[in-house]
Amino acid sequence: MKVSIPTPLRSYTGQEAIVEAEGRTVAEVLRDLDRRHPGIRFRMIDEQDQIRRHIKIFVNRERVAGIEAPLAPDDEVQILQALSGG
Amino acid sequence: MPNGNARSGPITLLVGTKKGAFFLHTDADRSAWSLDGPHFLGHFVYHVVLDPRDGRTLVAATKTGHLGPTIHRSTDFGRTWQEAPAPPAFPKAPEGETGRVVDHSFWLQPATAREPGVWYAGTSPPCLFRSEDGGETWTGVAGWNDHPMWGTWTQDGADGTPDGSILHSINVDPRDSTHLYIGISGGGIFESPDAGATWKPLNRGCAADFDPNPDPEYGHDPHCVRLHPQAPDILWQQNHCGIYRLERPGDVWERVGDNMPREVGDIGFPVELHPRDPDTAWVFPMDGTDVWPRTSPNGHPAVYRTRDAGKSWERRDAGLPREHAFMTVLRQSMTTDAGDPVGVYFGTTTGQIWASSDEGDSWRRIADNLPHVYCVECAEFRR
């Protein structure tokens, strides 16, 4: 499925805004994403498997609360990042 | 003053800032400087350190305001960087329990020459991690991170600096790689004789005027602790309340900051040591009165130097602004080189780098308009 990557994480994807990853849950997609683009997952997900504070993950434009959310093969995953500070 | 082992090759200052890292290169005479960077533009770079054992591996503790923390490494003097495949992180907590999360790595410390490739990292919350492969993979030092007193000693890692409670000032005894000292903001200094398996507080004699207990065993607020590399029984400490010195095997710190001028006081963040003379040290006093501005007293910055183990201090401000200069120099933002005379350097949170090539007697600004400086480290690349 297609996964949208925000600009702060595109250094991991060769500057690609949309990449492919597979999985039946958001967690599996993130694991696959990390396999294809090493290091990207830990920047979004902490060691307790929680989505970091400024990262938001949407599936078909609905925000998910945790990474165990299920996915269908044609779902669209968007990873967004809230920017704040100066 | 002994000058054995003095070196005078080209040096590079590694400057970590709130918006990236910058390198300042100079030749042996330390007169002309060139700026290189930014590396990691937009990233917090809390610490960037050269491995003195190979003269080419750089390790940087990085994070952005919105992404998780990581470690970057370079083995080509900073031309290219690779991310560590396993940066410091806690184990996953059992189901139903709340696990700890590394907010950022703050302090990086190579171990001794006897342990090539071994590094330590101090994090927020105040925990200790070790790498045995040059900074690529990191594991927690369980003797500290899971110590039954960790929560008590660190106030559950909740208190601390505006950036969170941190583990800093990792000092490894060059005679014995298993002998470690660490500093905890809002926790105190702790010593391990066995590579981090066991720990005990080492704070006797230190004031903690924010603690209702007049002589607590722990809970102090060390800002910076330095072990002398050639006289490793001597430790210096700049803490929240003053400047201290300790000679081991003694365990009672002496407040040598009492010998500072009263109108300046002895509060600050960094303390930096002469690389060869254990009686010489530099500090950068800050205003710790009232609401703690943490800026140069009266807007008139100065470095203070002792050459007699803190019995007396000399004001050294030639070349620094005479007024209206409210500088803050953080705990990792002062360093020395190994030259003779020693070069001394500091960076400010207002983005200036200042250098002295005469052991602090005179100063000149070698960089300006950088972002908020977190660290300044001296490196001698072996090309």
Q: Could you give the number of structural domains in chain A? A: 1
**B90 at interface of A, judged by CB pairs closer than 8 A:** yes
Q: Is residue B95 part of a domain?
A: no
Q: Could you give the number of structural domains in chain B? A: 1
CATH number at residue A16: 3.10.20.30
**A31 at interface of B, judged by CB pairs closer than 8 A:** no
ipTM of the complex: 0.91
Is-contact B366 B344, C-beta < 8 A?
Answer: no
Q: Is residue B6 part of a domain?
A: no
Cα–Cα separations (whole angstroms), residue B115 to B110, B120, B130, B261: 9, 11, 12, 42
Q: Is residue B3 part of a domain?
A: no
Residue B147 domain boundaries: 11-90+100-379
Q: Is residue B374 part of a domain?
A: yes
Q: Is residue B200 part of a domain?
A: yes
Helices and strands, counts by H and E, chain A:
2, 5
**B87 at interface of A, judged by CB pairs closer than 8 A:** yes
Q: Is residue B4 part of a domain?
A: no
Per-residue pLDDT of chain B (383 residues; tens, 9 = 90+): 444 466 668 999 999 999 999 999 998 889 999 999 999 999 999 999 999 999 999 999 999 888 999 999 999 999 999 999 999 999 999 999 999 999 999 999 999 999 999 999 999 999 999 999 999 999 999 999 999 999 999 998 886 667 789 999 999 999 999 999 999 999 999 999 999 999 999 999 999 988 888 889 999 999 999 999 999 999 999 999 999 999 999 999 999 999 999 999 999 999 999 999 999 999 999 998 888 899 999 999 999 999 999 999 999 999 999 999 999 999 999 999 999 999 999 999 999 999 999 999 999 999 999 999 999 999 999 98
Q: Is residue A45 part of a domain?
A: yes
From chain B, the residues in CB contact with A8 under 8 A are 64, 66-67
**A81 at interface of B, judged by CB pairs closer than 8 A:** yes
Residue A55 domain boundaries: 2-81
Q: Is residue B188 part of a domain?
A: yes
Question: In sequence order, what are the residues at sequence separation of 6 or more whose Cβ sits closer than 8 angstroms to the Cβ of residue B94?
Answer: none
CATH number at residue B104: 2.130.10.10
* C-alpha to C-alpha distance for A76 and A78, rounded to whole angstroms: 7
The residue whose two tokens read 């849950």 is A25
Instruction: Give the nearest partner residue to A85 out of B65, B87, B92, using CB atoms.
Output: B65
Q: Is residue A86 part of a domain?
A: no
pTM attached to this predicted model: 0.95
Q: Is residue B2 part of a domain?
A: no
Closest to B105 measured CA to CA, from B152, B142, B56, B68: B68
